[in-house]
Structure 1
Amino acid sequence: MAISLNKNSSVSLAKEAGAGGLTRIALGVGWDMVKPTGFFAKLSGGTADIDLDASCLVFDAAGNVVDTVWFQKLTSDDGSVRHSGDNLTGEGDGDDETISVDLTRLPASVETLVLTVTSFRGQTFDKVANAFGRVIDLSTNRELARYDISESGSYTGLILASLKRSGGEWVYKAIGERAAGVHVQQLVDQSRRLI
């Protein structure tokens, strides 16, 4: 059973993965749109697609960004981090966007991955429902940890979580820090301060 995390809590993924070890993971992000009601629902036809974008900032031990994976760059330079592609609506069940990481191919200089979510069209997170971030062991397709985002508000970006090397293990931390920004580059400085 997956570990359910609260804001600022963390879990060792090696311990959750078990004896087989951890080699490949997916960082999944999902969301739904808040359904408009009343007069505004009639004006909009009842729908208002939310285009959230999951992105991954790759940091070295000195806090420098060495790579960024997002909808305009789907694969890291070394090929170890891959984005599933841009979901423009958030429709459907499960993960809306996924970032896969081959931990065995990450350069030794990489210390931290930061998962961010931004609202491309500038819609705020008070229009988002049922948002979550999770980690899946791709060897077993088992969910290891999940962070349900319960806070809504008038912000356009979220520093969702980090994945950090610690004593030879990978530790997943639910950050849940609100941010202002509609693309990942606008969240670099704030992300750096949080790792």
Structure 2
Amino acid sequence: MSVNLQKGQKISLEKEAGGALSRITMGLGWDVVKSKGFFGFGGKSESIDLDASVLLFDEGNRPVDVVWFRQLKSRDGSIVHTGDNRTGAGDGDDEQINVDLTAVPAHVKTLVFTVNSFTGQNFSTVENAFCRIVNSGNNKEIARYDLSVQGSHTAQIMAKLYRHNGEWKMHAIGENGNGRTIDELMPQITPLL
């Protein structure tokens, strides 16, 4: 049974998974928005390019690496992005980031997951957007965060995974942000660490 995360909620990933976690997948999904034509007919689809990213921080909250559409793999190889989806077409996860928690270097204490609209549309035009954490070992969803909170923001600082007493915990941040890329989001992320 998956936990539906609420803004600010903290969970133990291992407790929710029912045991030690070694590999997880962060999935991001959304649907293309159809604009309404005259009297509801003749609408057309609008492409929306949402991007999933993860930033790696050390004990001093300094960024040490980033995985996003311009760098699909962490330098140490523990985190891999499956590739950029520029439309949201198709069912299920549109983008995925795979994390081997056992291989994340010991000096990395926090992973921050974000979503941003590279094409610049605000989230009020995005339908059925979600992110989720899946136990890659058994493909069971551990936690889900609904991103369809409609608003004028173009980014979401979704969640952070952090090491606490030898286990990984998750904090659902759920802060709205603005920016088309991870670089533009960085000043909004650092106060949340």
2:16 aligned partner: 16
Q: TM-score, normalised by structure 1?
A: 0.94
The correspondence of residues 134-149 of structure 1 with structure 2, limited to 5 A, is 134-149=132-147
Q: Distance in 2 between matches of 1:41 and 1:82?
A: 42
Gaps of 5+ in 2: none
Q: Distance in 1 between matches of 2:17 and 2:152?
A: 36
Worse overlay, 133-142 or 169-178 = 169-178
User: Can you list the C-alpha shifts for 1:154-194, whole angstroms capped at 9, x where unaligned?
Assistant: 11111111111111111112211111100011111211111
Q: Distance in 1 between matches of 2:18 and 2:83?
A: 30
Structure 1 residue matching 2:45: 3-state secondary structure: coil
Aligned partners of 1:57 and 1:188 also within 8 Å: no
Partner residue of 1:62 out of 60, 63, 82: 60
Q: TM-score, normalised by structure 2?
A: 0.95
Letter in 2 for 1:7: K
2:176 aligned partner: 178
CA gap 1:41/1:173 in 2 versus in 1, 3 angstroms: farther
Aligned partners of 2:33 and 2:47 also within 8 Å: no
Report the count of equivalent residues: 193
CA gap 1:163/1:89 in 2 versus in 1, 3 angstroms: same
Whether 2:108 is the aligned partner of 1:113: answer no
Aligned partners of 1:41 and 1:47 also within 8 Å: no
Whether 2:143 is the aligned partner of 1:150: answer no
User: Can you list the C-alpha shifts for 1:36-80, whole angstroms capped at 9, x where unaligned?
Assistant: 11349777x510011011111111111100001000100000000
Aligned partners of 2:157 and 2:189 also within 8 Å: yes
The Cα RMSD (Å) is: 1.6
Q: Percent identity?
A: 52
Q: Distance in 1 between matches of 2:106 and 2:32?
A: 39
Q: Distance in 1 between matches of 2:54 and 2:180?
A: 14
The structure 1 segments of at least 4 consecutive aligned residues displaced by more than 4 Å after TM superposition are 40-43
User: Can you list the C-alpha shifts for 1:113-155, whole angstroms capped at 9, x where unaligned?
Assistant: 1111111111111110111111111111111111112311111
Gaps of 5+ in 1: none
